[in-house]
Amino acid sequence: MHDQLAPEPYYGSKKGSVGAFEERAGNDADLSSLLVALLRAANVPARYEYGTVDLTPEQAMAWTGTTEPGVAADALASGASLQ
C-alpha cells in the first residue's frame, strides 16, 4: 500500500484514516492514522510516536524541489504544497 499513497503537505489532520484511505493521499498525521487503524484491524498493537527530522539545506531543497535554502525552509515550515 505504501506505493499507492501520495504525500500531501498540510498542517494538522484534515482527512483522518478513512479520508486518507479513500483518497489514497494525506499528510503525515492522516497517513499515520491510516497506518495505525490498519495495524489495529489486523490485531497488531500500534500507537503514535512523533519526533523531529534534521535535514541539511541540500536535503531540504531536494525534498521541496527548490533551489534556495530559505525558500525550502519556508515551504517546510508552512506545509505549503509546491506542486
pLDDT at 16 over 60: yes
> What pLDDT does 3 receive?
81
Q: Which ranges in 1-83 belong to alpha helices (H)?
A: 16-23, 28-41, 57-64, 69-78
Model confidence over 18-52: pLDDT tens digits?
A: 999 999 999 989 999 999 999 999 999 999 988 88
- pTM higher than 0.75 for the full model? no
Q: Average the pLDDT over 56-64 and give the result.
A: 93
Of all residues in the chain, the percent with pLDDT exceeding 90 is 64
